[in-house]
């Protein structure tokens, strides 16, 4: 049996993000279009005695990521082990490249990657049933546990419709010097709405199939409420638009601001760093999800 496997846990962006009504459970329903980026963490899982997680790398916060038991990647391995009674021990190694708390789904990408890695080595693979384990871990985790680069997601992110991925485009991620806690962003949104939620609408599949259509749909309900507290978010979106971005908005619940550019027209990173005054990561949208490599 294979005892070790690795994969790149790719970040995601939301091309569309609507927050709908709050369920009686306290969770908000969402309606979103997920798309993977090439930017990702390197994740390796080894099957061995004991349980451990080691996170390092350029995007690790100075204060670390807390105790192992709170790490989403560790929790996903525990969930897998409890579901099928295997493995009793694992060692997870993560090289972080995805900014933490940036709305790029870093923790969820790691969790989804660990589920895929374990299932690839498993004596009793769960296949599509992996999504049942992913759903309780967070709204981004089911998508991150699939091999689809783009999907429409609704409910708590556990209802997914795979979409044909759009051709890869250059993406610039402007990283402000603060993180946004997802819980805060939901609180601000609820405050601003005073009980009202978005009304009836219909999504046209044709619009989801081209960058031109997506540019007309692209919106993020968190953008204006986060920008109201952190004006830098609106400033960064303006800078990205001025540099030629066809789409510029907050990523997920922030704090990263994303810009998607035409293939022929990506701005040089150095000029964006100068104009925004902040760290910028250049990446691309991805047309496919990285395959698991068995060691
Ligand atoms: P979300 O929208 O789910 O809050 P995010 O994309 O904004 O996520 P993450 O990088 O996933 O940001 O980090 C959010 C929180 O999750 C941080 O407080 C971090 O400490 C915690 N966390 C737990 N496990 C991980 C992990 N493997 N990688 C990064 N953060 C993690």
Specify the ligand 1 atom closest to the Cα of 252: 2
37 in Cβ contact with 10 (< 8 Å): yes
Note the pTM of the prediction, 2 decimals: 0.96
Catalytic annotation, pick one of 54, 140, 221, 238: 140
Is there an atom of ligand 1 within 6 Å of 251 CB?
Answer: no
Is there an atom of ligand 1 within 6 Å of 105 CB?
Answer: yes
Q: Where are the beta strands (DSSP E) in the chain?
A: 4-22, 28-46, 51-56, 90-95, 150-155, 159-162, 170-175, 219-220, 247-250, 257-260, 279-284, 293-294
Fold of 170-284: Alpha-Beta Plaits (3.30.70)
Is there an atom of ligand 1 within 6 Å of 254 CB?
Answer: no
Is there an atom of ligand 1 within 6 Å of 66 CB?
Answer: yes
Q: Where, residue-wise, is CATH 3.30.230.10 in the chain? A: 4-164
Q: Is 133 exposed, middle or buried (0-12, 13-18, 19+ CB in 10 A)?
A: buried
Q: What is the pLDDT of residues 231-259, one digit of tens each?
A: 999 999 999 999 999 999 999 998 999 99
Fold of 4-164: Ribosomal Protein S5; domain 2 (3.30.230)
Is there an atom of ligand 1 within 6 Å of 182 CB?
Answer: yes
The whole-chain average pLDDT of the chain stands at 95
Active-site annotation holds for 12: yes
Mean pLDDT by 10 residues, the chain (295 residues): 92 97 86 98 97 95 93 98 98 97 96 98 97 97 98 97 97 93 93 84 94 96 96 95 96 95 87 87 97 97
Within 10 angstroms of residue 243's Cβ, the number of other Cβ atoms is 19
Q: Above pLDDT 70, what percent of the chain?
A: 99
Q: Where, residue-wise, is CATH 3.30.70.890 in the chain? A: 170-284
Helix count (H) and strand count (E) of the chain? 9, 12
pLDDT value, residue 25: 83
- Residue 220 Cα to ligand 1 middle (Å): 19
Could you tell which of 10, 44, 72 is best to mutate to test the pocket of ligand 1, judged by most ligand atoms within 8 Å of the CB? Answer: 72
* Residue-wise DSSP of 80-143: HHHHHS--S-EEEEEE--SPTTSSS-HHHHHHHHHHHHHHHH-SS--GGGHHHHHGGG-TTHHH
Q: What is the pLDDT of residues 52-100, one digit of tens each?
A: 999 999 999 989 999 999 999 999 999 999 999 999 999 999 999 999 9
Active-site annotation holds for 96: no
């Amino acid at each position: 049996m294979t005892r070790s496997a690795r994969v790149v846990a790719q970040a995601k962006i939301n091309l569309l993000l609507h927050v709908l009504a709050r369920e009686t459970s306290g969770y908000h329903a969402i309606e979103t279009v997920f798309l993977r980026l090439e930017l990702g963490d390197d994740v390796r899982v080894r099957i061995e005695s004991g349980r451990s997680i080691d996170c390092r790398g350029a995007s690790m916060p100075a204060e670390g990521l807390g105790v192992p038991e709170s790490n989403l990647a560790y929790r996903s391995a525990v969930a897998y082990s409890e579901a099928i009674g295997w493995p009793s021990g694992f060692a997870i190694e993560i090289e972080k490249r995805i900014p933490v708390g940036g709305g790029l789904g870093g923790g969820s990408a790691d969790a989804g990657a660990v589920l895929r890695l374990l299932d690839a080595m498993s004596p009793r693979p769960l296949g599509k049933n992996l999504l049942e384990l992913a759903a309780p871990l967070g709204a981004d985790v089911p998508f991150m546990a699939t091999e689809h680069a783009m999907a429409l997601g609704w409910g708590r992110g556990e209802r997914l419709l795979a979409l044909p991925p759009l051709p890869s485009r250059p993406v610039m991620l402007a990283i402000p010097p603060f993180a946004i806690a997802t819980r805060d962003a939901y609180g601000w949104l609820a405050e601003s709405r005073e009980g009202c939620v978005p009304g009836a609408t219909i999504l046209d599949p044709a619009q989801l199939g081209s960058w031109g259509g997506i540019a007309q749909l692209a919106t993020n309900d968190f953008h204006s409420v986060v920008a109201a507290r952190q004006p830098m978010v609106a400033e960064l979106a303006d800078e990205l638009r001025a540099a030629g971005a066809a789409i510029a908005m907050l990523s997920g619940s922030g704090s990263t601001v994303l810009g998607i550019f035409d293939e022929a027209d990506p701005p040089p990173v150095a000029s964006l760093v100068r104009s925004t005054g902040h760290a910028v990561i250049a990446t691309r949208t991805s047309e496919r999800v990285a395959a698991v490599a068995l060691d």
